[in-house]
Structures are given as structure tokens and as C-alpha cells.
Chain A
Amino acid sequence: MTLFLQQWHGELLKLFGRKRTYIGFGAFVVLQILVFLLVKKFGLPTQRIIAGAGENVDYYLSALTVASFVMGVSVFLLGALFLSLVAGDIVAKEGEDGHMRLLLARPVSRFRLLLLKYLTCTGYAVFLIQFLAWTAFLLGIMLRGWGGGYFALVPEVSVVAFYDWGPGLLRYALSSVFLGISMTTISSIAFFLSCFRIKPAAATIGALSYILVDFIIRTGGFMDSHQHLLITKHMAVWGRVLAETIDWPLIWRGYAVILAVNLTLFTLGYAVFESRDLKS
């Protein structure tokens, strides 16, 4: 275990040693501030729904509601792109640049090296979403202050719920963890493609394209009777933790599918990588 942690530390040192990682975080913060300013100027689009439900708009238009909206928009606009970028690079770029040949001159198996990389990029997905969740929360506090209610809205899984501050904060934190786990699937797709002898950009674009096509097919209603075959359908299960009564069996089913898909992608990626001769 100590050996594994030592090796993982090396992998994290590479990820967090480069400027691009921080530029990415910076880009998210800028986007969140932009969304925040728009919310400040024009208000939330969900205000009418709160009013329509006969609830107190001022109470439910809280830091949590604003944070939820800001985080949702930033994950939708940049999340998939940035996670694909990181995971698409993680194997392919090291192969392309020649680092892989020095790494594998060490007494470490390809399986272990890939496992370290996989854990790094999926762990990064969870970490990034947590970062977004809590910076959005901070912006929400700046706009609306501490306290109030929480209006949770996830149309993809038909969730509409109203909470007080304490339970709302708990649900917000829980949903951010589950969203992070859902997003690991994007990292897994990009990681899988990255194991081939391809350009890192190709792995990124491939992963993004798959997710986008899957999303369009699902939201466009082209495969209404076969929605279970679409990965974004299962990824959206995170929103169910915001429902007033949490349907845990449904959530675990969704994450079982996500886990199976992630494991399959890792195994296939490993098989591809293991069969490769590493020579320029």
C-alpha cells in the first residue's frame, strides 16, 4: 500500500505540477463569476417556478439555489471538455512525448502504471466537481448571504424539491459528490481512447463526441424505448439524491451501470496498452 501511495504521489506531482491544471481551475472560476454576474443582474430563471409553486421566492432564492445553478451551468459548459482533456492526455501524451519509455524502464507493470493514471484522472473528476461546487457556493454566499432555503431542480430526472438551509446544504453536498462520480465516466471514455496509439487531442475529441452524441440522442427522444443503453441516462442519476424521498435502489442501479462501464473501459484500455510495442 505504501508503495502504491508513493507511486500515486509521483503521478499527482505531475498533474498538479503543471500550469495547465491551474489555468483550467482559473477558467472555471472565471466562467462561474460570469454566470454569477448574470444571475445578479437578471435573476435566476427558476424564480418563476418557485413563485408558481406558491413558495416564498426571497427565502428560496438562497446561496444554495444560486450555487446549484452556477455549478450546473459551468459543469455543462466546461466540465466534460476539461475532464476529457486531462484524461485524454494522461496516457497518449506521455506516449507521444516519450515519457512513457522512461517510466516503463522502471520495475513497474503496465497494469499498475495504468491503474495509477486511471485513479488520477477519475479522482481528478471528483476533485474538480467538488472544487466547482464549493466555489459556486462561495459565490452564492457573496450574493445572498448565509441561510435561507434551497430550491432543487433537476429536470433530467424530474426532481423538484424545496429544503430548509440545513437539510438543503446536506443535499447539495451529497449531490456534488454523486455528480463527481457520474463525471468519472467521461474521464473513463477519454482514458480508454488515450490507451491507443493516437494523438491526445484525438482521445479528447473522441470522448467529447461520444458524450455529446449520447446526450443529443437521449434529449432528442430518438431512443426513448432504449434509454437504458445511453450512458448519459445513467450519469444523470446523481440528481435523484435531491429528491425529497431518495430512491436509493434506483441510484445504486445507475451507479452499478456506471461502475461496470468504467471498469470495462479501464480493462479494454489496459488490454490495448498491454498489447502495444512501445518504440518510436
Chain B
Amino acid sequence: MALLDVRHLTKRWPTGRLALDDVSFEVKEGEILGLLGHNGAGKSTIMGITLGMVRPDQGEVRIGGRSVQKERDRALRQIGAIYEAAVFYDYLSGWQNLRVFCSLSGWWDEAEVKRVVQIVNLNRAIHHKASTYSHGMRQRLALAQAMLPEPKILLLDEPTDGLDPEGIREFRELILHLRKHHGMTIMLNSHLLAEVEQMCDRCVIIKDGKKVFEGPVPSQEKTRRMFQLETGDIGLAREILDRAGATMDKHGIVEVPLSMEPHELVAALVRGNVQVGAWQPHRRTLEQLYMGLSSKS
């Protein structure tokens, strides 16, 4: 079931620049979806529209079946978000900051706040002033405020931006923990391929305001069976593979159709007198997918 449904979003800035061009995708319950694209591709604009902070020229976003554009308050009750850089009131403590943000949701439950603070591992510093927090602690505080009060879906805009490698790892583990143990649905937005690859189940790639890909993150693909074929008889091999219903790209990556087993395909190649130098499983990386899409467009 789609918890978040982005439908035909189009947005042109007053300067005339087209920020989004008919972008549609959905986030299913319990999944982590990565929104990937270069700087200025339109990822944050999608986030802004999803939170009702940016008005689309066309299209709408539905959260749990409710349109953000038509009933924003009700739709946003199901969401927790970090939108752009998380900035806190430095003169207040982490706890007071949470109180300010939660007050807008008309909610405050000390026990639940303490539980979330524990999850994000801020319990020792929560009563210190936010001005004393490191960047990593601020991100964790931002995550805590997004998790209160119990959203169904988390929207995270560049959540690891500016974090050191250790901070990125901690944050990644936290996100995966939230999905695994709290069943959280998450949409995160990033230009870091490795981050999306390691955290997300599916990804949407945006390029110059257009969606150029929506599907599983390659490393998470379980249904596609890809193999690297090394042979000197490329032409002959392609002929036999075509006949068998398999495809091979220019780098010798063969995708085996579901109707046959990989060893049957190798047998067919050998029977057809193709000298098979090597045949090994191949995992496509997100980087290869992303760069492939970039070079195509």
C-alpha cells in the first residue's frame, strides 16, 4: 500500500526555471525510498511540496490518502520531517527545543519524549543548550523532533549532509534500526550514492526536474540475475543469447531470463561453440545505474 503518493508534480519558479516536470512516484508502507539526484535536481522541491511549504503548479502529494494541498494539517499529522538544514534555537536546551516543536502538534508526553531521546542516543545531553551540540548531535535532535509524536512516515532531507564518516555510519544504523524495530516508512533525499545504496530499498532518480528512474536499488535487487560473460566471440554469443531470450550489454553483462537457469544458458553457449573465458555473477551498483542514466540523458 502506498503511504505517500506523489502525483504529476510540476513546479516552475518565478524566475522561469522549471524545477519539476511531471514527477510521480510512491512510497510503500515499511520501505525506505531514496530520492537521488544532483544538486538542484529538484529533490528538496519535492520535499517542500510534500510538506506544503512549496506550492506546485500542477499535481499533488497524498499522505495516507490525504492531499497535502487540500488538507495539509491532517495529512501532515502522519509525517515527521527534517527539511533542509535542521536549525534549532541555540539559547534553548535540546529538551526545550523538542517542547517548542511538539507544542505545534499540540502534543507533549514526557515518557514518550524520553524514549525517543534514548533511541537517538541524546539522553545525556538533552538538557544542555543546543548551542553546545556538535553537528551530529543536532542531526540526532532533528531526528528526535521528526519522530515526535509517532509519525507513520519520516521525510529526511539530506540527513547526513556535513556529518563525518563516523556520524554518517551512526545515522545510517539509526535509520535502519527505525525501520527494522519500529516499522517506520522513510523517504530520504540525498546526492550521496553510497548512502542511498546502503539504506534504501528503492530509489527514484531525478535529473533536471524529471524522474529518470524508479525501481529497486540495484544492490537490493533479488529478482534480476546478472552475469559477467568473458569471451572472444561476442557476435556469436550475442546471437545465441538473443535466441535464448537473454540480453547482453556492451560490457558483457548478461541478464538471464526467468524462464531458464543460468547453467542452461552457459550450456547453450558452449554447444554453440562460444569459447567461454569466464561466467560470474554480477551485481550492478547504484553508481553504475546512476552514471548510465546520466550518460544517456
Contact = CB atoms under 8 A, between A and B. Distances in A.
Partners in one complex: yes
Given A102-B87, A102-B145, A279 B105 contact: no
A52 interface: no
Interface residues of B, number: 41
B61 to A, nearest CB: 13
B76 A105 contact: yes
A7 B103 contact: yes
Interface size class of A (residues with CB under 8 A): 20 to 34
Contacts of B51: 104-105
Interface string A239-280: 000000000000000000000000000000000000001111
Interface in B212-253: none
Contacts of B92: 13-14, 17
B101 A279 contact: no
B48 interface: yes
B115 to A, nearest CB: 20
Q: Describe B's contact surface by its main secondary structure.
A: mixed
A153 to B, nearest CB: 41
B174 to A, nearest CB: 19
Interface string B135-163: 00000001001100000000100000000
A3 interface: yes
B57 to A, nearest CB: 11
Contact of A280 (B84, B89, B103): B84
B102 to A, nearest CB: 8
Contact of A101 (B53, B74, B103): B53
B100 A10 contact: yes
A107 interface: yes
B104 A13 contact: no
Across the A-B interface, the 5 shortest Cβ-Cβ residue pairs: A10-B103, A98-B87, A106-B104, A105-B81, A107-B76
18 contacts: A2-B106, A6-B106, A7-B104, A13-B92, A13-B100, A14-B92, A18-B89, A18-B91, A99-B88, A101-B53, A102-B86, A104-B52, A106-B76, A107-B105, A109-B72, A278-B53, A278-B54, A279-B45
